[in-house]
């Protein structure tokens, strides 16, 4: 029954955003089209990450219990780095902070988390 509640909330949010999307479509059609293309590219990026995750998951968990946590950390870092890159490319109407718009500490932290989690997983 809880899943129906979550579904109802998701549908309500989507319906509530329809007027804003229609207004944005009328005001900035090329921006909306570019955003939709980039959202599709991000969906492919996340799907590739999930495929990589499924290829790394062993059939039987012979190792320590920390391995699933390392894979989860790598997946979260992968998705967040893609979101950071997407944020830089999507048309926007309010400028985000400058430190997010160029390569810097956010990129280094996410890439270090990704590489560290994968290295820890492969080492154990």
- Tens of pLDDT, residue by residue over 30-52, are 999 998 899 999 999 999 999 98
Confidence at residue 60, expressed as pLDDT on a 0 to 100 scale = 66
Q: What is the mean pLDDT of the chain?
A: 89
Q: What is the pLDDT of residue 21?
A: 87
Q: Which two tokens stand for residue 66?
A: 């920390």
In sequence order, which ranges of 57-103 are alpha helices (DSSP H)? 66-89, 98-101
Q: Would you place residue 62 in the very low, low, confident or very high pLDDT band (cuts 50, 70, 90)?
A: low
pLDDT band at 115 (very low <50, low <70, confident <90, very high): very high
Tokens of 31: 């921006």
In this prediction, residues 53-80 reach a mean pLDDT of 83
């Amino acid at each position: 029954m809880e899943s129906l509640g979550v579904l109802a909330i998701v549908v309500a949010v989507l319906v509530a955003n329809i007027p804003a999307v229609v207004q944005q479509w009328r005001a900035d059609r090329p921006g909306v089209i570019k955003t939709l293309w980039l959202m599709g590219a991000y969906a492919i990026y996340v799907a590739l990450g999930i495929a990589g995750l499924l290829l790394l998951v062993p059939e039987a968990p012979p190792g320590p219990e920390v391995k699933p946590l390392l894979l989860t950390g790598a997946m979260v870092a992968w998705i967040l780095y893609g979101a950071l890159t997407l944020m830089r490319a999507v048309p926007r109407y309010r400028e985000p902070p400058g430190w997010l718009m160029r390569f810097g500490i956010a990129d280094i932290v996410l890439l270090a988390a990704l590489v560290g989690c994968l290295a820890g997983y492969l080492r154990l």
